Structure 1
Amino acid sequence: MHWLSILGIGLASNLDNLGIGFSFGTRRIKIPIQSNLLIAALSTLSAYIAIRCGHLIATYSSPTFANAIGGSMIMAIGLWAIIKSLMATSRRKASNAQKSHRADQVGEVIITWKETWTLGIALSLNCIASGLGAGVTGVSAWGTTISVGAFSIITIALGSSLGHQISNTVVGKYSNAIGGIILICIGIYEIII
């Protein structure tokens, strides 16, 4: 198994989650464990389906060709993430100004279920493209799916809890670009190996 690719895809697919966690953390909006698990479940499901589709594509082509195609797809996704990051700096500030929240019994603001579903679906779309490319290269569907789910939970929780201190750093502002660079490296690795 390509453990480096499995871990890298799991991390790269969820770096947006880190930024989302930061944005909620800086605004003191709590993302409870139930919401975090729902977001992770949606990402996991979409990654698994995409990887299985990639495996089907790989069955009808040679391993070298499949690795070249899958690696190229992962690199293209990484390049697109970098371009998107460069173009979306100003839009990110506007999109972080979400208004629909509710307060719990002690007055703490928490994310609504509607926001959780919307966020989960949006973030799961990140996993489809990289999952398809990963599936074509032949990585383990279960391993990658578990990696995607675990990193989803970790990045949202970490981003939310550290939002105050590091929301204005390079990691928070350029999560798309960092994820893109990781995906390009994974793509190159898959083509070479």
Structure 2
Amino acid sequence: MHWFTIVAIGIAANLDNLGIGLSFGSRSTKVPLLSNLLIALLSMAATYVAMSAGNYVSHLLSPSVGNLIGGIIIILLGAWGLRASLKRFRHAARDAQLGEQFAGMAQRSDKDGNHVISWGESLSLGFALSINCLASGLGAGASGVSPILSAISVGVFSLLTVDLGIRMGSKIAKSWFGRYAELLGCLLLIVIGCYELIV
């Protein structure tokens, strides 16, 4: 069982969620449990669908070839995201406290400006965040990792990271971790891909 990959996928898929939570917390914006749960469920669904597709492909291949293809896909996704992140750091004006990407997404999510993310507002946010789960899930599924366990891991870490980010937003948002959460997520994907290549 690829327990390391299951846990690592859950963490990597949700570092963006942590960044969003930090941005919400720094702006005193609340995400009720129902809204947070909806975001987690959307991420779980995206992960399960993508990993099931990747898992189906893996059954057509030998386990070693499946691991090789899945690992390479995950590494390429991490490298692509890392390149895009570094490019944004070099060329884009950054928010004073947090990455512009997270700050902008956080502001757009609270459409009525009441500093509370309703379940309706969490739908669009959840769809945006679940895209990351689709990409990484496809590669992990091709490696033969359990779609159900990985989806549960993504859902649990989604709930935890959004809540943790909001609770610690005003402090962590100004730290290096808050600014580089996206970069760390990409690096973790590369580590997961390398791990899948050698197991």
Cα shift readout 1:161-193 (whole Å, capped 9, x = no counterpart): 100111011211111110111110110010111
Answer with 109-118 or 67-76: which moved more.
109-118
- Distance (Å, rounded) in 2 between the aligned partners of 1:59 and 1:143: 18
User: What RMSD, in angstroms, separates the aligned Cα atoms of the two structures?
Assistant: 1.5
CA distance in 2, matches of 1:145, 1:112: 24
Counterparts of 1:114 and 1:83, CA distance in 2: 33
Partner of residue 32, structure 2: 32
**Aligned counterparts of 1:41 and 1:141: Cα–Cα separation in 2:** 14
Secondary structure of residue in 1 paired with 2:116: strand
Residue segments in structure 1 that go unaligned for 5+ positions in a row: 104-108
2:175 is equivalent to residue 169 of structure 1: yes
In 2, distance between residues paired with 1:73 and 1:168?
Answer: 33
- Asked whether 1:141 is paired with 2:147, we answer yes
Given that residues 100 and 112 in structure 1 are in contact (C-alpha distance below 8 angstroms), is that contact kept between their aligned partners in structure 2? Answer: no
Aligned ranges 1:71-86 → 2 under 5 Å: 71-86=71-86
Scaled by the length of structure 1, the TM-score of the pair is 0.92
Mapped contact 2:32–2:118 kept (Cα < 8 A): no
Deviation readout 1:64-88 (Å, 9 max, x if unpaired): 1111110011111111221222233
Higher strand share: 1
One-letter amino acid matched to 1:185: V
Residue deviations 1:110-161 (CA, integer Å, cap 9, x gap) = 1133431111000011100111101000011111111000000000000011
User: What is residue 111 of structure 2 aligned with on the other side?
Assistant: 100
Find the residue that maps to 1:180 and give its secondary structure: helix
User: Within 1, Cα distance between the matches of 2:83 and 2:159?
Assistant: 26
Shift of 1:102: 4.9
Structure-1 separation of matches of 2:17 and 2:5:
19
2:196 alignment partner AA: E
The match for 1:116 is 122
SS at match of 1:110: coil
Question: What amino acid is aligned across from residue 111 of structure 2 in structure 1?
Answer: S
Matched, 1:53 2:53: yes
Q: Which amino acid aligns with 1:146?
A: I
CA separation in 1, counterparts of 2:169 and 2:3?
30
- Counterpart CA distance in 2 for 1:41 and 1:97 is 22
Q: How many residues align?
A: 188
Q: Any conservation in 2 of the 1:35–1:116 contact (CA below 8 Å)?
A: yes
Within-5 A mapping of 1:179-190: 179-190=185-196
> CA contact under 8 A between 1:83 and 1:177: conserved in structure 2?
no
Amino acid aligned to 1:177: L
CA deviation vs aligned residue, 1:33-83 (integer Å, no higher than 9, x gap)? 111000000000010011100011111111111111100111111112212
> Contact 2:20/2:162 (CA < 8 Å) preserved in 1?
yes
